[in-house]
Each structure stands twice: as structure tokens, then as C-alpha cells.
Structure 1
Amino acid sequence: MEVVDELSAFLESVSLDELRGIMDVALKDTWRRQSREAIGVARELLNERGLTRAELRNLTREIAPALGFELGRQTRETVDEVVDLSYRLGQEQVGLGLTSTFNRTDVRAIRWLEEHHEFWIGNRYDDATQARIVRAGQEVLERGLGRAEAGRVFAGEFPELLSKDESYWELLSNNTVTRSSEFGRVEGYVKSGVQRIRIDAVIDRRTSDICEEMDGKVYEVDLLVEQRDALMDAEDPEDVKAVAPWPASAEELRDKSEAQLAAEGVVMPPYHGNCRTRTVIL
């Protein structure tokens, strides 16, 4: 009982924005630390062997553990805690107790959210960073420099290549909290017997055209449940994108009914990177 009381007290003192900040700081700090390790490895290899196409391939393999597996391992605990707390706060905003008992759906949803967002951390290197490093290395090689000189030039450019991922971690943190809290709300609606919800955008100078267009739309909770379950059944990230695609523009949404939007996968937030929109009881 004491543990439950402590958790409840903590949840009452923390907000979703604070959870976004906690995850953002953890991801960026770990990325910077692992980047320094990768930069050290890269400089040592480049200074020793210079730069050739073969050495470029070897370099990307050598730094992969620091920027992939190890990054994911060091941030996993924080990510899992942020997911759990965001989910609980989502349910609390529906009116359920902060420490209400989880059912099987809650447990499955949280596990899926953890695995899904851990994937985007551990695979960031394979998904984008490695390609950027290879392109930059190839550009250096195309300058016609000698092996040793090319190595020195690329070693000097290498730190900037990794710094470009900073904004990605903020986006991932924001979207992790938004999706986790929305999953919590969905099961909260089910537990509370809520039938319909309204899309509630934060309207200010930062509001996107997409969220302005979605603001005020009304959905049956069954549609949210259907999308949530489809997301949890998705076998890979591409399936996730197909189940809940982000609209390219507000024009795609105009003059469409909620049923038409749902058929296209536009149901639950987030609707784009750094989306602040949420669902609320009608």
C-alpha cells in the first residue's frame, strides 16, 4: 500500500510535458556520450588507416554498437518508465485513479509501446545516421584526396554528422509521450463506458494546419480501440505507418467525415511530429 501511495503522489506532481522533458534529456545525454565514444573510434581508425571505400564500410561497422545496441540498452529503463507514467496519466485524465489496476489490455499496450519506441532508439543508427555518414564519406572521397588526407578531413567533419540527430530525440520523446498517453486514454474510455470523444488541439501560434483541421472532430471510441489494436498487431514499423499514417497536409483532411478519415487511418493523435493534440471526453 505504501508503494501505491508513493506512486500516486509522484504521478500527481508530474505532467506529460515534464515526462517529455525527462525522456528528451535522457536520450540526448546518452546520445552525446555514445557519440563521443564513436567519434574517438572513428578518429583512431581514420588517422591510422586513412579513408577508402573499404575503410568507410569498416568504420560504420565499428561504431555501430555504440550508436545502436548500447544506446538502446542505456536508455531502456527511462523510456519504459516514461511510457508507463504517460499511460497512467492518460487514464487519470479520463477520470480513473492514477494507480488503478491494470488489465491484460493495459499490460499488452504498455509492452507494445515500450518495444515500439525502443526500436526507434536502437535502430536510429541503421535507419538514418549510418546513411548520412556514408554519404559524407563518399563526398570526401570524391574530392580526389589521398587516403591519409581524406582520413584527416573526414575525421574533422565527423562530429557534426552526429550532432544532426539532436532534434530527432526531441521529436521521439514528444511522440512517445503523446502516443502512450493516448493509449492510456483509450483503455480508460473503455473502462469508463465512454462512447464518443472529441479531438482537442492546443490552439496557439505553434498549432499546425493539420491539428487545426482535426480540432473538434468527434469519433466513436470503438474506432480508437480498433486502431489501437491494429497498431499492437502490426508486425513491423512499416505496418505501423500504414495503420496510422501521418497526413502530409491539412488539404488531405478537409471536407472529409470522421468515418472517411478513420478509413484512411487518421484517428488518434499524434498526427505529425511533435503533435500536442489529444482526445477528450465529449
Structure 2
Amino acid sequence: MTIAQQALQSAVRRRMARAVVIRDAKAYEALYGQLQGAMSNAWSDAMREGIAGALDRLRDLGPGKFTDQDGKMILRVLEGSVGAEAISAAMREPVINLTDALYRVGAEEVGKATGVSIAFMRPDLDALDILKSGNLYWIGNSWNVNTQNLMAQALEDYFTEGMTREELTARFAKDFGTLAERGQRYWEILADHTATKTREMGRVSGYERAGIARVQVRAHLDERTTRICRHMHGRIIDVPRLREQRDEYLEAVSRRNEPAAKAAWTMHGGDADLSNTPTSKLDRGTAGPPYHFRCRTITVAYFGSGDSDIDRWTRAAYDREPLGRKDIGTVIDRAKGARWPHTKVVRGHYRKHGGRLGRNTQADYSQAAVDLIRRGDRDVYLSMRQGVLNATFVRAKTITLASGKTRQGFEVTAVDMTENKITSHHWRAKIETTGDEVPAQKQPGRGIMKWLTQYWA
């Protein structure tokens, strides 16, 4: 096949990969599946070829003790099939084509969501070229950081056990077949990570071309959601910050500087705790997803950029940023006017919670909810629930159970700040609640009434 024919064939394949973006509503999943399949199949084929070649060389050596030199020879044979150059060559075409398609699908998703036709400019295409080369580099480099170490250790074990070549031949295929399976799981993880990061970098280009100033982090909230993604969910990130992260990462990739690339885009453990870290205090390497391997979190365009008090408080809640004392004073002042939305609502809550709180009448229970907002010995928390800003007023309260035993906990009044209505007054054992998409963040609210008197005097 001539160079011109190869170029034409590659162009056709790239066009077909891009067509998936337009044709398939689940374009990302389709492209990710193609990338994972291509990488896994290339690895499996290369491993089979390498194992067969190594077994042939072992048989050619004849009987005798397995030596350190024999181990080095087998490693060279295996490297010929699954080494950096061999793996890069085997995966080159699908990785380049699918990197291109995944980058574009990220940009297309932004375009469809915002109603803007995304046209790449020179910086986008330059970034894409660096990313294609970089993805291939990390794939080839995987021989050094993963495969070679595993295989070298296995061969070292054979040598130290004093095995004969005949004994080694009997065990080699089985043991290295297991190693091949372990390697395949690695490639599946690498494909997932490559696809996710490539898509998000494409989204950054899409945001820039669509004129989007800010994005919001959206985690897939279910029982599998990691701690770090729950803590990042809802945060609002400026697009220039995403661009800086992308550019720093690509610049490090272009220099093949692995430490700098890792610093530019931090991969946290799934259990990393960022609950008390405001968005403004996140390290430079923590901006856009993925935040960990197998990350399902994405970003979406954010348009809630109004300047009203509610808009500012909502953004602060999403960003886990505590409000200033003046803003908290305004929150409390607004909440003091909150009331139950309907008599039936307060009646239902009173029947459920009144007895536990020691309120003998519905009127007494309803007034206690309002009084808690005004008290000077309560704390104020802000949270987000189904996209609505909630203020929760909390003070410690010990209740007596039916058994006569006492239990420590908290008396709580919850207020929907958007509609300024009381949504609940109850006792709970702990402040945290699983119903909040953004967990309650404590505000500088205790003693605020005394401070406000001095401030406004």
C-alpha cells in the first residue's frame, strides 16, 4: 500500500469515527467502547505472540538450569511483542483516530447544549495534535511503568526458585496467561482514563468557542459515587482556569515530562476529602474532571451568574465558600420572614415531630420553628438540595425517648431561601443529611444578632 493510499485510508477511518458523534446520541460511550476494545485486543494479541515466541526460545535452549541470562533473554523476546515500541505501533491508528473523535465529541456536546456551532480554531487543532501524540506516549510508556516490572519480577521468581528450563516451560504459559489478564485490566482502566480526559479537554475548547465563562461540575450521584466526586459536585469553575489546566498538562506532555503532567492534572484517590476546601483554595491540578481513575463526573455550562443575593449565596454554597458576616446577617434577616407554606404542611410536620421536640400544640411547634431562626445560640448552615438553596438553623438539644433514656442531637429549622418558606422543623441525631446534593456548610452565624446590632447602629 502506498503512502497516499495509507493517508486516504486513515482519513476515511477518522471521518467514520467522527460520524459517530453526529449519528449516535450516546457518542461518548460508543467511542469509549471502541477505544477500550482496540487497546485490549491489541494487548491480548501482542501477549499471545510474545508468550509463543518466549516458549519457542525456551525449547530451543534445551535442558538445563534456568539462569539469570535466560530470564533477560525471555524479557527481550517479550518486549519485542509488548514493549513500548511494539504496543505503540499496534495501538497507533485507533488511538489517534479515537482521540480525535473523543475530543470532538466533547466539543459537540457543548455545542448541542448551548445551541452554538463549534468551529475549531488553530489553538484547538494544535492542542489536539499534542494530545494525540501524548496519548500514544503514555501507552508506550506503560511498558516501563507497568508491564516490564510485572514480567521482570515473575522471571526473577523463577530464577530464585532454581527451576529447570523444562519446569519453567511447563509453568510459563499458565503464569504469563494470568499476567496477560492482569495487564488487560490495566488497559481497560487506561482506556477509560484516556477517553474521559480527552473528552473533557474537547469540552474546554467547546466552552471557549461558545463563549461560556463558567462551568459547573456534575457528578453522577448514586451508590457508586466516590467521596471526592461528591465533594466536587456543584462547584463552579471559571473556563480560563480549565484552559490553564489543559494547557499546562499538554505542555508537560509535549516535553514528555511525566511528573509535570501529573502535577498539572491531579489524580486523587476516590476517598480524598475536599469537603472543607473552598473552590478558591483547590490546588492548581484540581479543576476539571477526571478527578480519579474510573471517574464519571463531567462539566456543564453554568448560566446562573446573576448578581442578586440568592444568586451569590447559591454560588457560595456550591463552591463551599463561607459567606461573610454581613451576608449571613442578610440571610438571617430574610429567613426571619419565612413561614410555613400551608396549614396542612405544618400540621403534618407537627404530628411527626412535635412530640419528640416536647411541643404540646401545633401553634407552639410552629412558633418554635420561627424562634430557632432568631436565637443567638444556634448555628447557621447552607446547603443545596435539588438545585435549591437551603438555610438550616441548628442548636443542640437533648430529647427523652419513650424508654426514658435521653439522646443528644440537634433541633433544626430548615428554610427554602428561594421561596423563603419553612420546609421542616425537627430533631435529628446529626447535622449531615444524605438528601443534600451539596452538604451543609457551617457559616459564621453564632452570635450574629449581637454583631448586627453593633454593625447597623
TM-score normalised according to structure 1 size: 0.90
Q: Does 1:17 align with 2:29?
A: yes
Alignment correspondent of 2:88 = 72
- Any idea what SS the aligned residue of 2:110 has? coil
Contact 1:87 1:183 in 2 (8 A): yes
Shift of 1:7: 7.8
Contact 1:198 1:279 in 2 (8 A): yes
What pairs with 1:244-255 in structure 2 (closer than 5 Å)?
Answer: 244-255=265-276
- Any idea what SS the aligned residue of 2:300 has? strand
Alignment correspondent of 2:44 = 32
Q: Which amino acid aligns with 1:73?
A: A
Shift of 1:212: 1.3
Q: Which amino acid aligns with 1:61?
A: R
Shift of 1:19: 0.7
Q: Which amino acid aligns with 1:189?
A: Y
Shift of 1:154: 3.4
How far apart are the structure 2 equivalents of 1:6 and 1:42?
38
| Equivalent pairs, count | 279
How far apart are the structure 2 equivalents of 1:95 and 1:237?
32
How far apart are the structure 2 equivalents of 1:18 and 1:165?
23
How far apart are the structure 1 equivalents of 2:92 and 2:16?
23
Contact 2:82 2:143 in 1 (8 A): yes
Structure of larger gyration radius? 2
1:230-271 deviation digits (Å, cap 9, x = unpaired): 11111222211011111235444121111211x341111111
With over 3 angstroms needed to count, the CA separation of the structure-2 counterparts of 1:275 and 1:23, relative to structure 1, is: same
With over 3 angstroms needed to count, the CA separation of the structure-2 counterparts of 1:32 and 1:20, relative to structure 1, is: same
How far apart are the structure 2 equivalents of 1:73 and 1:228?
26
With over 3 angstroms needed to count, the CA separation of the structure-2 counterparts of 1:181 and 1:8, relative to structure 1, is: closer
Contact 1:198 1:281 in 2 (8 A): yes
Q: Which amino acid aligns with 1:23?
A: L
Given the alignment, which residue of 131, 134, 155 partners 2:149? 131
How far apart are the structure 2 equivalents of 1:265 and 1:17?
26
Alignment correspondent of 2:348 = none
How far apart are the structure 2 equivalents of 1:163 and 1:67?
14
Alignment correspondent of 1:267 = 287
How far apart are the structure 1 equivalents of 2:175 and 2:18?
48
Alignment correspondent of 2:258 = 237
Contact 1:202 1:277 in 2 (8 A): yes
Given the alignment, which residue of 185, 191, 207 partners 1:167? 185
Given the alignment, which residue of 256, 274, 277 partners 1:256? 277
Contact 2:227 2:271 in 1 (8 A): yes
Alignment correspondent of 2:74 = 59
How far apart are the structure 1 equivalents of 2:189 and 2:242?
23
Q: Which amino acid aligns with 1:179?
A: K
- Any idea what SS the aligned residue of 1:165 has? helix
What pairs with 1:183-262 in structure 2 (closer than 5 Å)?
Answer: 183-234=201-252, 235=255, 236-261=257-282
How far apart are the structure 1 equivalents of 2:143 and 2:19?
38
Alignment correspondent of 1:276 = 296
With over 3 angstroms needed to count, the CA separation of the structure-2 counterparts of 1:250 and 1:126, relative to structure 1, is: closer
With over 3 angstroms needed to count, the CA separation of the structure-2 counterparts of 1:6 and 1:35, relative to structure 1, is: closer
Worse-superposed segment, 122-131 or 45-54: 45-54
Alignment correspondent of 2:454 = none
Shift of 1:219: 0.9
Alignment correspondent of 1:46 = 58
Q: Which amino acid aligns with 1:146?
A: T
How far apart are the structure 2 equivalents of 1:40 and 1:123?
23
Q: Which amino acid aligns with 1:220?
A: D
How far apart are the structure 2 equivalents of 1:203 and 1:247?
18
Contact 1:224 1:268 in 2 (8 A): yes
- Any idea what SS the aligned residue of 2:154 has? helix
Q: Which amino acid aligns with 2:242?
A: L
Root mean square deviation of aligned Cα: 2.4
Q: Which has the higher contact order (CA 8 A, sep 6+)?
A: 1
How far apart are the structure 1 equivalents of 2:301 and 2:48?
47
- Higher helix proportion (structure 1 or 2): 1
With over 3 angstroms needed to count, the CA separation of the structure-2 counterparts of 1:34 and 1:73, relative to structure 1, is: same
**Aligned sequence identity (%):** 32
- Any idea what SS the aligned residue of 1:164 has? helix
Q: Which amino acid aligns with 1:75?
A: M
